[in-house]
């Protein structure tokens, strides 16, 4: 069973356990991490099979710890203040104190809300993350970012993760058994973050990382438990190596720091936040990040910072993972673009107006904006593996980025 320790700069360390059948050991692993709760609140995703929640709860009740379970819906519209308040009320009703903890048995969407609840209830109590999706295992459950979305007035775009804190978990337990029943699309979603990590570090720190990720992707899509554990452990190590020295994302642009982990997210979050037309399915986080990485790669190419090979290799790896490299549907049919293109005009040239409007949306909502300047992460060099932060990117590069993914 791989066990990694996240060592934070000037902050405490916490363990991350990866393996098979670990939910039945969470109470013991919590004790090893220094936790001694009398009561725990278990927040479970309604999509997670009930047997997993029972196994996790039983690990604590067997040790005389009282467990209350709160089952919630995980979705971007539910990543809200209302959901956060439900967790606060459940914690208060249970009379959790600062020696107790809140457990998250869920993917990254609801896991972010649980983390925010733990960071704010009684000014902060311990949170334990037990991720149930590949995306949460390799990314959202580690690093300490917590958040809810800002849900604006009707028709306006949702603003992703605008409200949040930095609050490191006390413990992360990734049981690959939770991934056995995941739909293939959700495995692909998680692989988007793995491709992102390979784009950041495969040259500088591990020349074989790109090839190893490429080799593991088909095995992961077949739910091979060993491949899943290997991929999760290596990606947690990569994220820790980038985030731990800069836990609050304060490094200067030249150093990159934790901001590099937003590769693909600056563009992707804009697409995720657009209001849907009635009956249209939401764009998943992994698909949005995949499109965002394609866009960011084209921005880097337009600025002369990377080669066409980088763009091609990134797109090939995303396709191997079952992820999109272009938005196939007509955006005007999928999303309500009126709030972006207001007032709309019958003769409006979408090919010019939409990229500009999407870029303005990034500038208005992205959390990395400093001094009124947009900051994007783009690949550099002759092959995938290194990225940099670019402040105030030129308009032609943003236009090329959006044009590359729009139909």
If phi > 0 it is left, if psi is from -120 to 50 it is alpha, else beta; for residue 53 that is alpha
What span, in angstroms and rounded, lies between the C-alpha atoms of 299 and 401?
A: 5
11 and 147 share a domain? yes
Give the CATH number for residue 372. Answer: 1.20.1090.10
pTM value is 0.92
**Is residue 58 within 8 Å of residue 214, measured between CB atoms?**
no
What span, in angstroms and rounded, lies between the C-alpha atoms of 283 and 286?
A: 8
Dihedral sign for Cα 46, 52, 54, 56, please: negative
Full residue range of the structural domain in which residue 136 is found: 3-182
Which letter, b or e, does each residue of 368-400 get, where b requires 16 or more Cβ atoms within 10 Å of its Cβ? beeeeebbbbbbbbeebbbbbbbeebeeebbbb
- Per-residue pLDDT for the chain (407 aa), expressed as one digit of tens each? 688 888 876 678 999 999 999 999 999 999 999 999 999 999 999 999 999 999 999 999 999 999 999 999 999 989 999 999 999 999 999 999 999 999 999 999 999 999 999 999 999 999 999 999 999 999 999 999 999 999 877 667 788 899 999 999 999 999 999 999 899 999 999 999 999 999 998 655 566 789 999 999 999 999 999 999 999 999 999 999 999 889 889 999 988 999 999 999 999 999 998 888 888 998 999 999 999 999 999 999 999 999 999 999 999 999 999 999 998 877 878 888 877 776 666 566 666 788 988 999 899 888 889 889 999 999 999 999 999 999 999 999 999 999 999 98
Give 19's DSSP letter: E
Number of domains in the chain: 2
What span, in angstroms and rounded, lies between the C-alpha atoms of 36 and 40?
A: 10
Domain annotation covers residue 236: no
Domain annotation covers residue 365: yes
Q: How many CB atoms lie within 10 A of CB 222?
A: 11
Distances (CA, A) of 183 to 77, 252, 298: 21, 39, 30
**If you search the block for the tokens 């990569």, which residue do you land on?**
238
Distances (CA, A) of 191 to 33, 174, 182, 197: 29, 16, 13, 10
Strand 101-106 and strand 126-131: pairing? Answer: parallel
The number of residues making up the chain comes to 407
32 and 149 share a domain? yes
71 and 212 share a domain? no
Q: Say what angle helices 184-201 and 285-302 make with each other, to 10 degrees.
A: 30
119 and 203 share a domain? no
Q: How many CB atoms lie within 10 A of CB 281?
A: 8
What span, in angstroms and rounded, lies between the C-alpha atoms of 212 and 192?
A: 15
- Residue in 282, 272, 320, 317 with CA at minimum distance from that of residue 297: 317
216 and 344 share a domain? yes
**If you search the block for the tokens 């971007």, which residue do you land on?**
76
Backbone angles phi, psi at 180, to 5 degrees: -65, -30
286 and 339 share a domain? yes
Give the CATH number for residue 172. Answer: 3.40.50.1970
């Amino acid at each position: 069973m791989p066990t990694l320790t996240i060592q934070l700069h000037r902050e405490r360390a916490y363990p991350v356990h990866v393996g098979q059948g670990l939910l039945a050991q969470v109470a013991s692993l919590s004790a090893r991490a220094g936790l001694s709760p009398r009561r725990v609140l278990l927040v479970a995703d309604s999509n997670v099979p009930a047997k997993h929640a029972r196994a996790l709860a039983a690990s604590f009740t067997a040790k005389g710890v009282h467990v209350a379970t709160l089952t919630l819906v995980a979705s971007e519209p539910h990543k809200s203040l209302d959901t956060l308040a439900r967790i606060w009320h459940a914690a208060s009703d249970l009379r959790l104190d600062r020696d107790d903890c809140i457990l998250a048995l869920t993917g990254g969407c609801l896991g972010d809300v649980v983390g925010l609840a733990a960071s704010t209830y009684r000014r902060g109590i311990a949170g334990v993350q037990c991720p149930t999706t590949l995306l949460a295992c390799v990314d959202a459950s580690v690093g300490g970012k917590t958040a809810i979305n800002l849900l604006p007035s009707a028709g306006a775009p949702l603003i992703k993760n605008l409200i949040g804190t930095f609050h490191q978990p006390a413990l992360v337990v990734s049981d690959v058994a939770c991934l056995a029943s995941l739909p293939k699309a959700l495995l692909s979603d998680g692989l988007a973050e793995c491709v992102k990590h390979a784009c950041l570090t495969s040259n500088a720190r591990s020349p074989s990382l790109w090839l190893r990720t490429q080799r593991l992707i088909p095995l992961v899509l077949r739910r091979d438990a060993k491949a899943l554990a290997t991929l999760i452990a290596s990606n947690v190590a990569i994220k820790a190596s980038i985030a731990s020295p800069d836990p609050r994302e304060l490094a200067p642009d030249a150093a990159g720091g934790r901001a590099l982990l937003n590769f693909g997210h600056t563009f992707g979050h804009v697409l995720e936040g657009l209001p849907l037309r009635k009956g249209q399915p939401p764009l998943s986080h992994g698909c949005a990040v995949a499109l965002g990485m394609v866009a960011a790669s084209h921005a880097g190419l337009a600025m002369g910072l990377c080669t066409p090979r980088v763009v091609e290799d990134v797109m090939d790896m995303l396709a191997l993972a079952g992820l999109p490299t272009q938005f196939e549907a007509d955006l005007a049919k999928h999303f309500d673009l009126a709030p972006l293109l207001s007032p709309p005009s019958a003769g409006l040239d979408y090919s010019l107006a939409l990229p500009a409007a999407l870029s303005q949306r990034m500038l208005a909502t992205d959390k990395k904006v400093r001094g009124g300047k947009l900051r994007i992460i783009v690949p550099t060099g002759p092959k995938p593996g290194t990225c940099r932060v670019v402040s105030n990117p030129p308009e032609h590069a943003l236009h090329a980025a959006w044009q590359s993914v729009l139909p």
